[in-house]
Amino acid sequence: MSGGSNERFECLADRLDQISDEIAESAIEELKTALGRGDSKSPATERRLTQARRAVEKAAHLLRGAENGDDPAGAGSDQFD
């Protein structure tokens, strides 16, 4: 992989980190709203946001692994036959 690709992957991973932070803030707002209503469990929206945040964090991690020449998902996991 070239240095340009590494920089591009790191830039994408950084952007995903920012998106993850935004999603986390939205999830916290959902929890605060639910608490304000007196709900006893977390709303489905918050759970969906948390799941999305984890997926975005995983994507950032995978890009950073690719940056280091690693294949965090396993060798050839996304290759087509």
pLDDT digits (tens, 9 = 90+) for 7-47: 999 999 999 999 999 999 999 999 999 999 999 888 999 99
pLDDT band with cut points at 50, 70 and 90 for residue 66:
low
Is the pLDDT at 57 greater than 80? The verdict is yes
Is the pLDDT at 76 greater than 60? The verdict is no
Domain-located, residue 79: no
Is the pLDDT at 5 greater than 90? The verdict is no
Domain-located, residue 78: no
Domain-located, residue 48: yes
Domain-located, residue 80: no
Domain-located, residue 56: yes
> Could you count the other beta carbons within 10 Å of the beta carbon of residue 36?
8
User: Which DSSP state fits 56?
Assistant: H
* Domains of the chain: total: 1
> Which residue in this structure is represented by tokens 């950073």?
64
Element holding 45 (H helix, E strand): helix 44-67
Domain-located, residue 76: no
pTM > 0.85: yes or no: no
Domain-located, residue 57: yes
Range of the domain at 47: 3-67
Domain-located, residue 77: no
